[in-house]
Amino acid sequence: MSGASGHRGAVRLLAGRILLLLGVLLVWHVLTSTGVLPKFFFGSPLTVLENAARWFVSGKIYRHLGITLIETVLAFGIGTGLGLAVGLWLALSPTASSLLEPYIKGANAMPRVILAPIFAVWFGLGILSKVALGVTLVFFIVFFNVYQGVKEVSPVVLANARMLGATSRQLLRHVYLPSATSWVFSSLHTSVGMAFVGAVVGEYLGSSAGVGYLILQAEGAFDINTVFAGILVLTAFALLLDFIVTLLERRLLRWRPTAASVERV
Amino acid sequence: MSPAAAPALALERITCTFPGAGRAAPPYTAVADTSLRVAPGEFVSVVGPTGCGKSTLLNVAAGLLAPTAGDVRVAGELLRGLNRRAGYLFQTEALMPWRNARDNVAAGLRFRGAGRKESRERADQWLVRVGLDGFGDRYPHQLSGGMRKRVSLAQTLILDPAIVLMDEPFSALDVQTRQLMENHLLELWSADRKSVVFITHDLEEAISLSDRVVVLSAGPATRPIGEFPIDLARPRDVAEVRLTPRFLELHRQIWELLKAEVLKGHVRRERP
């Protein structure tokens, strides 16, 4: 795929995608404005957009969005750090990993969203309880990826590093860690998404601020348009976070083969 | 034995037995009662049928694997743990994929405590020596198979090991690249004579490179069954030397011995 035809193809694809979105919004609009679907339950796309725009114009949204994003970033950072540390430790210590294995499996199998009420009791209705929920979601993704990453370090690369004189600390720093971080980065998209889910669900279950709180309030008032506006804003920011992750990944995983770079050789 | 006369590497009556795979499976003896001595500066090739335990022997020499019985002596001293005087060129990809060519070559120096700048400078010099000038910033996946082997070679030789262990290093390369690499290896070796143990299943490669060819029996319980000094003149060109009458004669002699083992190995694999 290259040259003018590829460029034209990409433009057409983009146009097609935008048309699809507009089409769905149009159908939604027509169905609700003609009364086929009741406006009370399904809202109206124009009002949803208007509500979302009003949030940004009045500036009401920024505080709530800021809190949700802070919760997301904290949950992501702490969850990733813990996952990396525990993953490395268990992968390199067979005794500890066989001792803890059933408990880790159990903790992972448990639907952790139900921990939200407990965290609310422990940490209150502020930021902390949401961060805690996000951490439990992020931790396991990162943990399993790091564990896998360390287990799948090529034994030849390892033996080679040892023959080149690496001490066990140097092996950890120069072989295990890079291998594990590459796995962490490949799970970044999922874990950022999970941190976001943790923040919003936590807010939704009990809070005094945040986008989840706005949605909860609107729902209490049967204001379906505002609920949709909240969902719209959340989706937009989830996409933005995902985009940031993609940029980060491109910078940090330069050494990994991609289809494009293999072609270049 | 005086230190000067001590072989650079001596495997003394090495036996390697691995536990069976299942509970009922009998233990598997890969190498039995094998002795091998390599003089300082000598290039020794070890040939044998595939799966005969050649790599096991090399891992023992490297100190990566402790033998069940027998001793390894390096310059007369008993080996404990890793063989610090040996460099190891592996059969499969051994470069760290997250480091570019320069940092891969510099890795050993860095591990041994050399400074970053100095290590990189020396790595660049070695990249030039192996014909990869200007490729320092490429990551392994951006290099061809032959180039990656050159990086591995530089990575091993930059540490100036007294002994170089090579495990079918060129077996994954195409014939042309392979001959280039073999000539290149001879060039590097003759400039700075190290003891080399070169493992291969390719008899022509073994004869054209070495001072001595050791033939191993088919596995299990592999042991050496023949030893042939190679009296071909140096410097050699690996492609041209294959056409000389003496080469053909040596090839015929060694092949006669090796052929029976290859057939045995074959029969054993077909009917286990």
CATH code, domain with A156: 1.10.3720.10
Of B86, B111, B144, the CB nearest to A170: B111
Pick among A154, A158, A160 to test the B interface (most B CBs inside 10 A): A160
B108 to chain A, closest Cα gap in Å:
5
CB atoms within 10 A of CB B34: 26
Q: Which chain A residues are Cβ-neighbours of B112 within 8 angstroms?
A: 165
Give the DSSP H/E element, type plus range, for residue B86. Answer: strand B86-89
B114, B146 Cβ separation under 8 angstroms: no
Mean pLDDT of B120-127: 94
Cα–Cα distance between B217 and A159 in angstroms, integer?
Answer: 27
**What number is the ipTM of this complex?**
0.88
Nearest residue to A198 via CA among A78, A88, A97: A78
Q: Residue A92 falls within a domain, yes or no?
A: yes
* A120 and A190 part of one domain: yes
Instruction: Tell me: do A142 and A229 sit in the same domain.
Output: yes
d(CA B182, CA B105): 20
Whether residue A265 lies inside any domain: the answer is no
Q: Are B8 and B25 in contact (CB under 8 A)?
A: no
What is the pLDDT averaged over residues A199-222? 88
pLDDT tens sequence across A122-143? 998 889 999 999 999 999 999 9
- Least confident span in A49-53, A147-151, B203-207: A147-151
What is the reported pLDDT for A60?
A: 87
DSSP state of B79: P
Does residue A264 lie in a domain region? no
CA of A168 vs chain B CAs: smallest distance (Å): 11
Per the CB < 8 A criterion, the answer to whether B160 and B118 are in contact is no
For residue A1, pLDDT beyond 50: no
Task: Decide if B2 touches A, using CB distance below 8 A.
Answer: no
The distance of B228 to chain A (nearest Cα, Å) reads 30
Tens digit of pLDDT for each residue in A76-96?
A: 999 999 998 999 899 888 898
pLDDT of A263 > 70? The answer is no
pLDDT of amino acid A128: 92
Name the pLDDT band for A59 (thresholds 50, 70, 90): confident
Residue A198 lies in a domain: yes
* Cβ pair B94:A157 closer than 8 A: yes
Contacting residues of B for A159, CB less than 8 Å apart: 64, 88, 90, 94
CA distances from B75 to A73, A77, B7, B189, B195 (A): 58, 52, 6, 19, 11
Contacts of A183 in chain B (CB under 8 A): none
Asked whether residue A31 falls in the same domain as residue A59, the answer is no
Split at pLDDT 50, 70, 90, the class of A2 is very low
Q: Which residues of A touch B88 (CB under 8 A)?
A: 159-160, 163
Q: Please state the rounded mean pLDDT for residues A176-200.
A: 85
B255 part of contact set with chain A, CB < 8 Å? no
Distance (Å, rounded) from C-alpha A196 to C-alpha B204? 63
Of B19, B155, B12, B117, nearest to B73 by C-alpha is B12
For residues A127 and A157, the answer to whether their CB atoms sit within 8 Å is no
Interface test with B, best of A152, A154, A163, A256 (most B CBs within 10 A): A163
Do A47 and A25 have their domain in common? no
In a domain, A77, yes or no: yes
Domain assignment present for A261: no
Domain identity same for A142 and A116: yes
pLDDT above 70: percentage of residues in chain B? 95
Residue B134 above 70 pLDDT?
Answer: yes
Average of per-residue pLDDT across A237-254? 84
Inter-chain contact A256–B141, Cβ cutoff 8 Å? yes
Contact check, Cβ <8 Å, B98/A255: yes
Give the model's confidence band at B90: pLDDT under 50 very low, under 70 low, under 90 confident, else very high. very high
Stretch A204-213: mean pLDDT? 87
C-alpha to C-alpha distance for B26 and B188, rounded to whole angstroms: 45
Interface test mutation site (partner B, options A157, A162, A164, A183, max chain B beta carbons within 10 A): A164
Distance CA A76, CA A82 (A): 10
Q: Print the SS3 string covering B140-164.
A: HHHCCHHHHHHHHHHHHHCCCCCEE
**Domains identified in chain B and CATH numbers:** 3-85+171-270 (3.40.50.300), 97-160 (no CATH)
At A5, the pLDDT band (50, 70, 90 cuts) reads low
- Does the structure show a pLDDT above 50 at B98? yes
Q: What is the mean pLDDT of residues A96-109?
A: 88
Task: Tell whether A21 is covered by a domain.
Answer: yes
Claim to verify: residue A55 and residue A31 sit in the same structural domain:
no
Q: Is the pLDDT of residue B164 over 90?
A: yes
Note the pLDDT of residue B5: 66
Quick one: A126 and A238 in the same domain?
Answer: yes
**Mean pLDDT, chain A, integer:** 87
Q: How far apart are CA A200 and CA A231, in angstroms?
A: 10
* pLDDT score recorded for residue A37: 86
Burial tier of A158 (Cβ tally within 10 Å: 0-12, 13-18, 19+):
middle
Two tokens, residue B146:
């032959």
Do A10 and A113 share a domain, yes or no?
Answer: no
Alpha-carbon separation of residue B46 from A4, B51, B149, B199 (angstroms) = 57, 13, 20, 5
Give the count of domains, chain A: 2
Considering only the beta carbons, identify the residue of A161, A182, A262 that sits closest to B141. Answer: A262
Q: Give residue B246's Cα distance to chain centre.
A: 25
Q: Are residues B108 and A164, on separate chains, in Cβ contact within 8 Å?
A: yes
Residue-wise pLDDT for B235-254, tens only, equals 899 889 999 999 999 999 99
Residue identified by tokens 């208007």 is: A50
Residue A59: burial class (beta carbons within 10 Å; 0-12, 13-18, 19+): exposed
Q: Is residue A194 assigned to a domain? A: yes
Q: What is the pLDDT of residue B172?
A: 82
Q: Are residues A138 and A245 in the same domain?
A: yes
Question: Where do we find the tokens 């080149």?
Answer: A164
Q: Are residues A47 and A15 in the same domain?
A: no
Give me the count of residues in chain B. Answer: 272
Given an 8 Å threshold on Cβ–Cβ distance, is B84 in contact with A165? yes
Measuring CA to CA, which residue among A234, A256, A242, A225 is closest to residue A50? A225
Question: Does the beta-carbon distance from A156 to B82 stay under 8 Å?
Answer: no
Q: What percent of chain B has pLDDT over 90?
A: 59
Q: pLDDT band for position B271 (50/70/90)?
A: low
Whether residues A80 and A203 share a domain: the answer is yes
Helix (H, G, I), strand (E, B) or coil at B28: strand
pLDDT higher than threshold 50 for residue A265: no
Enclosing domain of residue A92 = 43-256
Answer yes or no: do A151 and A248 share one domain. Answer: yes
